Chains A and B, each alone.
Chain A
Amino acid sequence: MGHSPAAVPAVETRDLKRVFKGSRGSPEVVALAGVDLRIERGEVFGLLGPNGAGKTTAIKILNTLLYPTSGEARVAGHDVVREAAEVRRRIALVSGGESSGYGILNVRECLWMFSQFYGVPRAEADARVDRLIETLGLKDLAKTRINRLSTGQRQRMNFARGFVSDPEILFLDEPTLGMDVNAARELREFVLTWVRESPGRTVLLTTHYMAEADMMCDRIAIIDRGRTLACDAPSALRRAVEGGQHVELEVLGVPEGLADVDGIAVTWGAPHPERGTHTMKLRLADGGQLPLVLRALDARGVSVRGVSTRETSLEDAFIAIVGRGLDDSEAPR
């Protein structure tokens, strides 16, 4: 149609829906309830949401692994259902904790094998595999069998696999899962360098680590229960909930189902079983509300063991939009 590749968005979805049939009498599950996304070329785009939000379903549809129930999804301008072959030539997928490759092969052979599944010509494949092995710190392991790699080393190799075909659009589904801090930081830097080096490259990232999304992503879509709740730059998402004071209280003796304190919504962080306490998160209009909250909790028999305040973070924005944190429970039991 005369559009240059740069003019075509990397990913575009319109009213994308996916419903899974229930098995053995269980009700059907609405994984995506009408998601609209537009990811431009050159972006590092984050998809954030709690467990079951629909992130992996969306990634599978965009990688031609799943049909949508309705709606439309296009990758590099190609429909994921009708033009799946065209889509596959342009993408690569790396999932955290995956176990790609065969244990009998060494790292170099495994990366070469996948390059051949993507049709990379031999000379380019050899050069690219060697360069990836060197750049991602796998040089000493190049001839080590995969079944002898540690989890972190294997994850590095999986990560390298995503780049052997030099895709236009790279899907990273929890790519640093299980990695140590330094390795995760190096890989994040590698991805950002890779994207910036060529204008056509795009990354769609799902992650459980807010800091990772904040550091890497140009824009983030927050989804929950199959719907897009917000989509903007991390700074813009933070600005939207700025103002007021973010307070975290470590509390003991919480009444079951406590959802607000004098009308101020409460979200819950992970419990501290060793101390028998829970983390209660509140966003106060101003500092003057804090004594009132403490008194209200005291009146309900809740013992406050610690108080902390901080700047607005992406997590605050996420909580304000979704109503709970990525790993938070709905309420303590």
Chain B
Amino acid sequence: MSLAAALPAIEHRPRHTGARLFAHAMLARMYVRIVGSLREPTWMIADAIFPNLGMCAFVLLYRALGAPRSYEALALIGGVLTTYWINVLWGMGAQLYFEKMQGQLALYFAAPCSRLAILSGMALGGLVATLLRSLVGVAIGLWVFHVQVAPFSPWVLAGVFVLTMVALYALGMTLSSLFLLYGREAWHTANALQEPVYFLSGLYFPVRTLGALGATAAGVLPLTLGTDALRQVLLGPAAQGLLPLGQECLALAGFGVLFLFLAGRAMAYLEALAKREGRLTQRWQ
């Protein structure tokens, strides 16, 4: 081993702090997600193809029933958003629990970067990786099933999409700390949330069909509002929107701010708990 050529020859520069440290840590954690989505072909198939099968089933069902063509587009948009919800639940919500089981959580807690930087990196990486997968759903819908959408403004679409993603992934950042508190129950919690949210969000049908009370209750979920807002942008009146688009955008922005705030508080609480009780950084507890 060439110890003579060890480390001191490297120029030692001041370490990044503050916002630059946050950005570097976030990008590093984001990199893991993106590499993870591209490097394992079998994951690509599981993540990009399988979640879209439900959407295909609904498109075929609506077609067989002779439903209006707009219903096929409703299912397509819902199917695309399903991939994000799965990522938020399993890739964000349950992730800190998995990190703990790996013994990695202690290394995060001992690092000088913000824990929110790690969570933000997970969120951004998950978003980018899922974007690639969701495009597969869009491609299937448009080119295989020839699903039709109304003329739309790409800028409005991008804006609503960004608002939806911020609200969804901020919710995921909050859930990641809360799931960790449940310990071994994280799997069950994620499972328990998956199907009811699919239903309440009206991913494959207009949420109005839940009735006034059901639609109002479902409206507290950012996934519901995001799905509905995107449908309104892409389908116009045929979307049978729950609330006016502007109100839904405002609510999504509010959800984003609220969940980012809660994510910070939940993580601070979690870290204090870990230090006080000394068990959250242990793998087996």
Name A residues whose Cβ lies closer than 8 Å to a Cβ of B.
18, 20-21, 57, 60, 63-67, 85, 88-89, 91, 93, 95, 98-102, 104-105, 109, 112-114, 116-121, 123-124, 127-128, 131-132, 134-137, 163, 165-166, 186, 189-190, 193-194, 197-198
Contacts and interface: CB of A to CB of B under 8 A. Distances in A.
B3 A189 contact: yes
Contact of B276 (A67, A135, A186): A67
B111 to A, nearest CB: 4
A233 to B, nearest CB: 24
B278 A89 contact: no
A116 B106 CA distance: 16
A135 B5 contact: yes
A193 B6 contact: yes
B188 interface: no
A135 B1 contact: yes
Contact of B2 (A65, A113, A134): A134
A197 B7 CA distance: 9
Contact of B110 (A64, A112, A134): A64
A112 B28 contact: yes
Contacts of A193: 3, 6
B1 A189 contact: yes
Contacts of B11: 124, 127
B61 interface: no
B109 to A, nearest CB: 6
19 contacts: A18-B278, A64-B110, A65-B278, A66-B275, A67-B275, A99-B104, A102-B36, A112-B28, A113-B32, A117-B108, A117-B118, A119-B16, A124-B11, A131-B5, A135-B7, A163-B7, A190-B3, A197-B7, A198-B8
A117 B35 contact: no
Nearest to B108: A117
B113 A166 contact: no
A65 B36 contact: no
Contacts of A113: 28-29, 31-32
Nearest to A117: B111
Nearest to A97: B103
Contact of A65 (B25, B103, B118, B274): B274
Query: Which of A100, A102, A132, A163 is most buried by chain B, counting CB atoms within 10 A of its CB?
Result: A102
B278 A60 contact: yes
B69 interface: no
Contacts of B102: 99
Nearest to A198: B8
Given A101-B104, A131-B7, 20 more contacts: A18-B278, A65-B109, A93-B110, A95-B103, A104-B36, A113-B29, A116-B25, A116-B27, A117-B28, A118-B15, A119-B24, A119-B113, A120-B15, A124-B11, A127-B10, A135-B5, A166-B7, A189-B3, A194-B6, A197-B7
B281 A190 contact: no
Nearest to B5: A135
A98 B118 CA distance: 20
Given A119-B21, A197-B8, A124 B13 contact: yes
A252 B15 CA distance: 61
Nearest to A130: B10
Contacts of A60: 278, 281
A88 B9 CA distance: 24
Contacts of A98: 103, 107
A128 B13 CA distance: 12
Contact of A109 (B10, B27, B31): B31
A88 B36 CA distance: 28
Nearest to A64: B110
A163 B10 CA distance: 12
Interface in B93-112: 102-104, 106-112
A93 B275 CA distance: 16
A65 B3 CA distance: 32
A197 B102 CA distance: 34
B114 to A, nearest CB: 9
Contacts of B13: 121, 123-124
A204 B246 CA distance: 59
B104 A100 contact: yes
B95 to A, nearest CB: 11
B32 A117 contact: no
- Most chain-B Cβ atoms within 10 A of its Cβ — which of A93, A116, A128? A116
A325 to B, nearest CB: 26
Given A113-B28, A117-B28, A186-B1, A64 B109 contact: yes
A193 B113 CA distance: 28
A189 B1 CA distance: 10
Contacts of B110: 63-65, 88, 91, 93
